Amino acid sequence: MSQAIKLWDIHGGIHPAENKSQSNQQPIRVLPLPKKLYLPLQQHIGNPAELTVNVGDRVLKGQRLAEANGFISASLHAPTSGTIVSIEPRQIPHSSGLTAETIIIETDGKEEWCEREVIKDYLHTDPMALLGHIRNHGITGMGGAGFPTSVKLTPKDDDHIDTLVINGAECEPYITSDQLLMRERADQVIDGISVLGQILKPKRCIIGVEDNKMDAVKALRESVEAHPKTLPFEVKVAAIPTKYPSGGEKQLIQILTGKEVPHGSIPADLGIVCQNVGTVAAVAKAVLEGEPLISRITTVTGDAVSDRGNFETLIGTPIQDLLSHCGVDDSKLFRLIMGGPMMGFTLHSTDLPVIKTTNCILAATEQEFPNPAQAQDCIRCGMCAEACPAELLPQQLYWFSRSKEFEKAKHFNLFDCIECGACSFVCPSHIPLVQHFRFAKGGIRQEEQAHIKSEHAKMRFEARQERLAKEEAEKEARRKARAEAAAKAKAEKEAKAKLEADQVTETASQPTGSSVEDDKKAAIAAAVARAKSKKATSTPDSGVDVKALKVASSQARAAHLKAKRALDAAKEAGELSAEQLAEQEAEVSKLQTAYEASKAKLDAAKNGNSTPSAEQATAPAVDVKALKVASSQARAAYLKAQRAYDAAKEEGSEPEEAFNAQLKEIESLQAAFEKAKAALDNAKSGKGAVSPVAPAAQTKDATDPAQTLENKYKQLKVETSQARAAAKQAQKAVDEANEQGKDSEQLKALETVLAEAVQSYEKLNAKKLVLQEKVKLRKAAAASSDANNAEVTAAESTPAKRETSKAAPTETTANTEDPAQKVKELKVAASQSKAAWRKLERELTKAQEAGEDTSELEQQVSAAKTTYEQANEAKTKAMAALDS
């Protein structure tokens, strides 16, 4: 075996006084069985183990007390037989003084073993089975932090392990437990390497031992030579120069292989697995003897104990027992350290137990480890940087840590600090550098936590904003779509109306043989007439120009006649479809109405301005109160005139002519009164009228185009509903026919009827809708003028009654139904009907679930649904109308 092993050097490093001779002179001794053992569930890195026993249970040596909880965890076993007297949270040996659930076993001294599982033929055992065995036996790293060994032996799939590094460097001063192990139990270490070789299948294995332990090196080399069969790979024992911290995993790998574990990687990424000699020996024990990790070799040293040495100690042994056994002088004990003087941590009490990672108990006197001197200012001498094995600049990190410039500290690779303490060791200014670095690391971790938290909050906030924006955009899009649809509908409507008008003029032009221009003229005339008549009716000013009215009237008449002629001609020609005819008829009647209205106006104007109220009364939606006032005024005037006439008649003083004039006046007054009364009645009935008969009755009286439109609309509505009923009946008939299995001819006939009915209904409905829009618009326009009119009337009638008349406009507005208001109402109605429908649906579901009879409910639901749909339709239309 070639012993010329190439070694590399690490940067920095220190040579503290070794202080190993105090404890490595005697062989490993066994500590007497303690009365009680304290076994924390958390002795390793990872999740605490999960209890599998209860208080009061009697447990056997090697029996599992708690099992690994999760991948990174380790199980725990009873170090000896005894009874579990308590399971309680107790302080554990940890630098932060944490507490953990601790099993307390009262030992019975019988050392009764449980059944052990031994794998003698491990070289022919599946690596996974071996891993499971190691895991079940609670093996953790015994040199440092206590990382579960099975995890470390399970490299990632793509990491092939090339080199197995066994760490026997034991570079910390004072500690000799590994040295004694290697010296006395080298075979166990080599067996463990053999087991690990079976699991990892490495090409080679290097055991690194500092050259201040040549006895251990010798023992290992002899053992390697004695085990040629179980080591199917090259095993070398390397004596490395004594220098702290060569026992650090990364440092040892660098020394033995020349490779650096890249920042953020683990050795397995380089094809290297590093295990402590103690861990390897524990693996051998577990596999070959079936003994879980229930004891370890612990060095007890320091000037405060008289009998220093290494002890095979059961896990859970109270440190006080160890110290007492070694003759501790309590008066001298000044600093109690678990681990070595460079990286170990102080214990606050001797009650704490030995755990799986306790390689050394250092009971130091004040002379040995005096209190740290007062730190001086950093003089940037750079000795720390020279000592740093990670090649950091501790002096810079110190500045940044002190001033909490964590970003800079991170930039100067603070997190590559392994806290070996070499910098603090060499600092001439007594600055506890490692402490500063721990502080900075903690601070950075805290900041990162806070940052993650705030990032999370920010993300949530942004997501919310995004969602809201999206919703808003969708809303906007919907609104736009609606507006577009409405605009489209309007455009279509206009196009249709134009088409109608064109058709009218076309048909009108045909029989007379006149040019298109004439048609246009007629159309214009009709429009002008409409406008004029409308103006005339809507502005019943006392000074209405009779002449203008006359012109408008004659124009309207001409238009009407022309249209009528055209219609007749068309009828005669029979060219037009029924629908077109109907439309033309409607147009003609519209024109007629317009003409009549303008004529009436003209008449009224001719009759004089004495009865503006009567004129006013013809307005369909005039305020009832105003009408009443007007009516009573008219009546009063009439009665007064009558009385005067009667008186005059009795006296006989008046001449005949005067009598006649008076009589005429009375008559006209009476007529005015009657007209006002009729208007009043009309208004009253119109207000309450829901039946389609009322508007029909009104049609004749109506002189306003809006009124005409409305009446027409109502008529259409009736017709539509009739058509609908017919269609329904037809449908019913078809259905019945279908059910009864009538012959196809009959069915066909019925279907034709149905189709016709449906068609006619649809046509009517379309017309109705078009008209509906018109009516609404007219109403909206009329509402304002009506309100004005009412006010004017009231003002003219009696100043004293101004108060009542002032309230009129609002009422008028309410009566004439503001489109926006209507939309709102419709909306409410729609949502109400929807709610009702949903409620019913829910009830239905409930009932269905309960298994009740649901036929009635189902009907109700469908009815409610229909209601809602209708309401919704109405709402949508109204909204479209409003938008347009």
Nearer to another protein, 38 or 412 (CB): 412
Burial of residue 112 (CB within 10 Å: 0-12, 13-18, 19+) is middle
Q: What is the DSSP letter of 18?
A: -
How far apart, in whole angstroms, are the C-alpha atoms of residue 283 and residue 141? 10
Nearer to another protein, 82 or 248 (CB): 248
> Minimum distance from CB of 262 to another protein (Å)?
5
Nearer to another protein, 375 or 696 (CB): 375
Nearer to another protein, 84 or 434 (CB): 434
Instruction: Answer whether 137's CB lies under 8 Å from 131's CB.
Output: no
User: If DSSP codes are grouped into helix, strand and coil, which group holds residue 83?
Assistant: strand
Query: At residue 574, what is the residue type?
Result: G
Q: What would you report as the CA-atom Rg of the chain, rounded to the nearest whole angstrom?
A: 54
> Minimum distance from CB of 431 to another protein (Å)?
9
> Minimum distance from CB of 421 to another protein (Å)?
3
Nearer to another protein, 118 or 379 (CB): 379
Nearer to another protein, 409 or 764 (CB): 409
> Minimum distance from CB of 318 to another protein (Å)?
15
Residue 730 in tokens? 């037809």
User: If DSSP codes are grouped into helix, strand and coil, which group holds residue 615?
Assistant: helix
Residue 637 in tokens? 């005037």
How far apart, in whole angstroms, are the C-alpha atoms of residue 469 and residue 491? 32
Nearer to another protein, 362 or 637 (CB): 362
Residue 679 in tokens? 């208007």
> Minimum distance from CB of 216 to another protein (Å)?
23
> Which residues are CB-neighbours of 670 under 8 A, at least 6 positions away?
638
User: If DSSP codes are grouped into helix, strand and coil, which group holds residue 82?
Assistant: strand
Query: At residue 102, what is the residue type?
Result: T
Smallest Cα–Cα separation from 31: which of 252, 389, 353, 401? 353
> Minimum distance from CB of 363 to another protein (Å)?
10
Distances (CA, A) of 401 to 382, 416, 466: 17, 14, 40
Query: At residue 811, what is the residue type?
Result: E
Residue 381 assigned to a binding site: yes
> Minimum distance from CB of 269 to another protein (Å)?
11
Nearer to another protein, 380 or 635 (CB): 380
Residue 589 in tokens? 């009647």
Segment holding 346, helix H or strand E = strand 345-346
> Minimum distance from CB of 334 to another protein (Å)?
7
Residue 360 assigned to a binding site: no
Nearer to another protein, 173 or 540 (CB): 173
> Minimum distance from CB of 217 to another protein (Å)?
25
How far apart, in whole angstroms, are the C-alpha atoms of residue 375 and residue 384? 15
Count CB-CB contacts under 10 A for residue 493: 15
How far apart, in whole angstroms, are the C-alpha atoms of residue 374 and residue 66? 46
Nearer to another protein, 396 or 760 (CB): 396
Burial of residue 676 (CB within 10 Å: 0-12, 13-18, 19+) is buried
How far apart, in whole angstroms, are the C-alpha atoms of residue 616 and residue 626? 9
Cis amide bond preceding 394, omega within 30: no
> Minimum distance from CB of 176 to another protein (Å)?
16
Count CB-CB contacts under 10 A for residue 370: 11
How far apart, in whole angstroms, are the C-alpha atoms of residue 726 and residue 765? 13
Residue 420 assigned to a binding site: yes
> Minimum distance from CB of 73 to another protein (Å)?
26
Residue 427 assigned to a binding site: yes
> Minimum distance from CB of 254 to another protein (Å)?
7
Lookup result for tokens 């940044």: 400
DSSP letters of 660-718?
HHHHHHHHHHHHHHHHHHHHHHHHHHHHH--STHHHHHHHHH--SHHHHHHHHHHHHHH
φ, ψ for residue 299, nearest 5 deg? -85, 130
User: If DSSP codes are grouped into helix, strand and coil, which group holds residue 272?
Assistant: strand
462-490 b/e with 16+ CB inside 10 Å = b? eeeeeeeeeeeeeeeeeeeeeeeebeebe
Nearer to another protein, 94 or 493 (CB): 94
Nearer to another protein, 451 or 479 (CB): 451
Query: At residue 320, what is the residue type?
Result: Q
Nearer to another protein, 217 or 420 (CB): 420
HSE at residue 689, side-chain half, CA atoms within 13 A, is 19
> Minimum distance from CB of 419 to another protein (Å)?
7
Residue 326 assigned to a binding site: no
Residue 417 assigned to a binding site: yes
Q: Which spans in 331-405 are helix H?
A: 383-387, 394-402
> Minimum distance from CB of 202 to another protein (Å)?
22
> Minimum distance from CB of 401 to another protein (Å)?
14
Query: At residue 701, what is the residue type?
Result: D
Secondary-structure percent of the chain, ordered helix, strand, coil, rounded to 5? 60, 10, 30
Smallest Cα–Cα separation from 76: which of 36, 105, 111, 110? 105
Nearer to another protein, 390 or 680 (CB): 390
Nearer to another protein, 220 or 300 (CB): 300
DSSP letters of 401-428?
HHTT-HHHHHHTTGGG-----HHHHH-T
Binding residues for [4Fe-4S] cluster: 378, 381, 384, 388, 417, 420, 423, 427
Binding residues: 378, 381, 384, 388, 417, 420, 423, 427
